[in-house]
Structure 1
Amino acid sequence: MGGAQGVTVNGTVAAGWEPVREEFAAFVAAERHSPEAQLAVYRDGRRVVDLWAGEDTGADTLSGVYSVTKGAAHLVVALLVQDGVLDLERPVSAYWPQFTGDGKERLTLRQLVSHQAGLINTAEGFDYAELAEDALVAAGLAVQKPYWEPGTAYGYHAFVIGALTGEVVRRATGRSLQEVYEERIRAPYGLDLYMGLPAEAEGRWKPVLDMRPTPEQLAAQAAAGTALPELFPVAFNAHREPPMDLVAYANHPRVRALGPASAGGIGTARGVAGLYAAAIAGLDGRPALLEPETAAEVARPHTPGPDRVTAGADHFGLGFERQHAVGPRAFGHSGAAGGLGWADPATGIAYGYTRRRFGFPGGEAPENARLTAAVLESARREGQPAV
């Protein structure tokens, strides 16, 4: 099936899921450049969609997934809460004594995970190599004055939330968040989603690609005149000189090697969808990671009102982004280049989408709305949702 500049859509879908392939092919054909994209969907632990398209992207091509990584990091936290290792109502300082001053000592773990700390960055920011080291970032933030009183508001901690929660994980378990993820989630379930790319997988890695906007896109953005909150550049490490380049960040060898838990993951769509399938349904005979009560808790709204960084509304559950287009029980996370992963216990669906070529203007790519609608409609037609 033809696509952008003759790009072919490859892969398979299960019977009844053909509309998803058709929607995927339609968006690829409409793109100015090949998006270098992958799409995978599981239902009740069974893979029903496995598609990819690109001049230089195959089914197993690995690349940076940006904040889709946060889904893996928050799943680690959810598991440790479920195990009783972490207590959401305890102050962060009970685990991390250095996390004090300016109201930080009163912040609970629940508030931290739901982006309420006010520690979106340091005043100086971090370079790429520094951002790759979660422990270094956490130490810098522990002495930073918050940008608002902790626990009184929320704002997207774009490049640091994994360092903050990861330090709590390290203090409580003696293991890094990345180590817990590898031992409890990635390796047992065979997921192609890494926080720290192993040497044996390097041959499958390909860099994230930039997409320069057209004059028409820039003009439309200017005409929209949407002003971002003043904290947006701080949270995205753009208050440095020169500002941080998102493409350079994802492709930086130290970021790739260490896998910072906020946005440094490397993976495929199969890996992203598999993560969420493992969370709610299990994979390959292994049980679901989350009990139904835990899955309900991570999806429950935690942040009413506007986000101080992005201006979005009612954005987060327990760390995970709420999936308003899917349903109230769904949870997941998007990534800067356009990727998205989510799980919906109501339908048993786990969704993973990646693109190596940045969509304009960045953030969750608009095609996800159409792909999600096609997935949900195919699921509806396949049978009544599991309740």
Structure 2
Amino acid sequence: MDLDAVELAFSKNFEEFGELGASVSIWKEGVEVLNLADGWCEREKVHPWNSATIVPFYSATKALASATLLILLEENGLSPDDLVCRVWANFPNSSATFAELLSHQCGLAALDQKSSVFEHEEVIAAIEAQEPNWDLGDGHGYHPRTFGFLVDEPVRLLTGKRLGEVFRERIAEPLGLELWIGLPESEFDRVATLYPGKMNKSDLASGFYKEFNQSGTLVRQAFSSPSGLQGVHEMNTSKAWQAGLPAMGGVGTAQGLAKFYQVAIGAIPFFSDDVLNWMRTPVVTGDDRILMTPTRFSCGFQLDPLDENGDKIRHNYGKGMHAFGHPGAGGSHAFGDPDTGISYAYIMNQMDLSVLPGAKSMGIIETL
């Protein structure tokens, strides 16, 4: 592993790609081997960015939320093959399993009934009333917003607590991870300011953004329901940090995310063998109805999709065939590779306009 080359790739992000503030953390076989942090927490350049800086990392949160639900299923004598309705009696598809829920197959990506991300019971009512966007067994599509409520509700039913509370108690605190799904006020002064990315002509030409920018499409509805926190500026508020949204509300350090994936690949003993296997074993693959590109999911995590020859179509998770993780909108990204023992995380505050990892993170991964 050429860590000097990785450091040069990190520096290139500031010199060539307009990075403002960022951290990268790389671990191997239970030990952090590289921790880089540079830049600024805001455009006014008042507070230098350092390794203790925390920032919202959007959908990278989904992995943390999924792990929380998986450990609770195991503790309650359940597995991903069990029906969701065994825990959630009013779930709108009585034949759906937790594996199908966690791999975005249930067709609940967009909601017809209006609801707010800040009103959990309101969203749950909308989910329970929803006619699925597609039939179970007829493919899959990323659930950008509803996913958090789909995993939070079973956790609440099993424990009586919000998912973010259980994550802190059962995973983050025992492992010393500076990660939160619901940030306490004591950490507010550590949060960097997020800035939105700009759309260019190549973005406008893509099938995803054509659908995203067209009113009434399933893609547009999936990214706008339930409502709230649509703009990046809204994510810079304490209300957003404290909301504890398991689909997109995580806040923390790159070190915390990279260490989480050391645990997820078994380099740091913590999860049972069953939970480790549920995280990394592919459940569904194919053309994604929402992201408009091939995707592959395990129980709550992404893997690189494969072509007909079994070769990777993309390398968002490096060269390893069993590597898995989850990106966040704008450029945050984290994953682990059980074959090499390596885990990686990148967080930043100058967002790109992408839902999959962009040039800044991919340049480091290719070097790594």
What does 1:33-112 align with in structure 2 at a 5 Å threshold? 33-56=18-41, 57-100=49-92, 104-112=93-101
Residues paired across the two proteins, number:
344
Instruction: Indicate the RMSD between aligned Cα atoms, in angstroms.
Output: 2.4
Amino acid of the residue matched to residue 88 of structure 2? W
Q: 1:296 aligns to what?
A: 277
Give the counterpart letter for 1:368 in structure 2. Answer: S
Given the alignment, which residue of 198, 207, 232 partners 2:219? 232
Query: Once the 2 structures are TM-superposed, how far is the Cα of residue 280 of structure 1 from its aligned partner?
Result: 2.7
Q: Name the counterpart of 2:340.
A: 347
Structure 2 runs not aligned, ≥5 long: 42-48, 305-311
Deviation at 1:220, TM superposition (A): 3.3
Identity of aligned residues (%): 28
Cα 1:163–1:249 change in 2 (3 A) is farther
In 1, Cα distance between the equivalents of 2:90 and 2:10?
A: 49
Cα deviation, 1:289-347, whole Å, max 9, x if unaligned, reads: 33445333322222222111112213211110114522222111000021101011111
Q: Deviations over 1:141-198 (max 9, x none)?
A: 1111111123432111101112112211222233322122111111111111110101
User: Residue 273 in 1 paired to residue 273 in 2?
Assistant: no
CA deviations over 1:187-231 (Å, ceiling 9, x no partner): 111111110101111111122112334xxxx23334567643732
Per-residue CA distance 1:340-374 (angstroms, 9 max, x = gap): 01011111111111111111345422222221122
Residue 314 of structure 1: aligned partner: 295
**Corresponding residue to 1:196 among 158, 178, 182:** 182
For normalisation by structure 1, the TM-score amounts to 0.82
Q: Deviations over 1:28-56 (max 9, x none)?
A: 2102x333211001111111111122133
Partner of 2:45: none
CA distance in 2, matches of 1:251, 1:36: 15
Distance in 1 between residues matched to 2:133 and 2:109, nearest whole Å: 7
* 2-structure distance, mates of 1:371, 1:194: 25
Residue 90 of structure 1: how far off its partner (Å): 2.1
Q: Distance in 2 between matches of 1:18 and 1:354?
A: 19
Matched position secondary structure for 2:261: helix
Matched AA of 1:231: L
2:129 is aligned to 143
Task: Decide whether aligned partners of structure 1 residues 190 and 221 sit closer, same or farther in structure 2, where only a CA change above 3 A counts.
Answer: same
Residues 125-274 of structure 1: pairs in structure 2 closer than 5 A? 125-126=114-115, 130-213=116-199, 218-222=200-204, 227-228=210-211, 230-237=217-224, 245-274=230-259
- CA gap of 1:120–1:280, structure 2 versus 1, over 3 A, is same
> Does the C-alpha gap of structure 1 residues 291 and 90 become closer, same or farther in structure 2, counting only changes over 3 Å?
closer
Aligned to 2:308: none
Q: Distance in 1 between matches of 2:69 and 2:98?
A: 10
Tell me the distance in 1 between the aligned counterparts of 2:159 and 2:205: 51
Normalised TM-score (structure 2): 0.86
